[in-house]
């Protein structure tokens, strides 16, 4: 069983790259590699019409992740497809996340086999970049990011991957979020200790990002 969908507004541009089905999308060799790991990869692509998108692919699925999804009462799906589902749910609540303009996956006999999503860039600038541009506002921006995280937690969202690189500052001071495949939904907020742990992860990752930037400069 296979699924392949690209938004009408992007279908012609991908057709020019000879991407018209699941196999051609999974095998597309183009763009800049942003990350690659055992399970999959993320690439930045500039389409023939000049628009920029991100292609995230899972080349296989860990069975343990499937069992965890079932235990949470969710459908089994590749991680990237779960991320698309998370974005759809959050966007309906007015939370700024990347727009998904393409999804594709293949299912084996029991478990999902592999899949991919296509996303538009998230508006805004990364939290660390905003702090570097306005050093005097570093503490203010960091606290605002922590409050944005707390707002998610109060809605019952548990986000163990709350790193600074996943927070994008908007012109009005609000935040957009990305890389949320590990976010889970609950009827109540996470425990105080878990909330504090995620806050600490945000702040420590911000300090590390700033130190890395200063070292490069």
Sketch out the chain's domains with CATH numbers.
Answer: 2-119 (3.30.200), 125-216 (1.10.510)
Global pTM value: 0.89
Distance CA 122, CA 125 (A): 8
pLDDT tens digits along 4-36: 999 999 999 999 999 999 999 999 989 999 998
32-75, pLDDT tens digit by residue? 999 988 888 999 999 999 999 999 998 877 666 665 666 677 66
Examine the pLDDT at 129 and tell me if it is beyond 70.
yes
- Mean pLDDT score of the chain, rounded to an integer? 91
Other Cβ atoms closer than 10 A to 123: 13
Which residues, in sequence order, are CB contacts of 55 under 8 Å at separation 6+? 25, 28, 31, 42, 43, 44, 45, 116, 117, 118
């Amino acid at each position: 069983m296979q699924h392949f969908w690209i938004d009408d507004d992007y279908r012609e541009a991908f057709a020019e790259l000879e991407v018209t089905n699941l196999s051609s999308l999974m095998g597309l060799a183009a763009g800049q590699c942003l990350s690659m790991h055992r399970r999959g990869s993320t690439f930045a692509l500039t389409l023939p019409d000049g628009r920029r998108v991100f292609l995230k692919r899972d080349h296989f699925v860990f069975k343990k992740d499937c069992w965890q999804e079932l235990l949470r009462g969710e459908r089994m799906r590749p991680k990237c497809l779960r991320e698309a589902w998370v974005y759809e749910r959050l966007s309906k609540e007015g939370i700024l996340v990347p727009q998904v303009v393409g999804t594709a996956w293949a299912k084996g006999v029991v478990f999902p086999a592999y899949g991919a999503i296509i996303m538009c860039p998230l508006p805004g600038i990364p939290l660390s970049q905003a702090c570097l541009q306005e050093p005097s506002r570093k503490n203010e921006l960091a606290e605002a990011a922590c409050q944005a995280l707390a707002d998610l937690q109060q809605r019952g969202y548990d986000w163990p991957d709350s790193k600074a690189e996943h927070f994008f500052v908007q012109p009005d001071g609000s935040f957009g979020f990305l890389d949320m495949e590990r976010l889970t939904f609950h009827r109540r907020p996470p425990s105080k200790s878990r909330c504090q742990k995620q806050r600490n992860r945000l702040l420590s990752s911000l300090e590390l990002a700033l130190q890395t930037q200063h070292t490069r400069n």
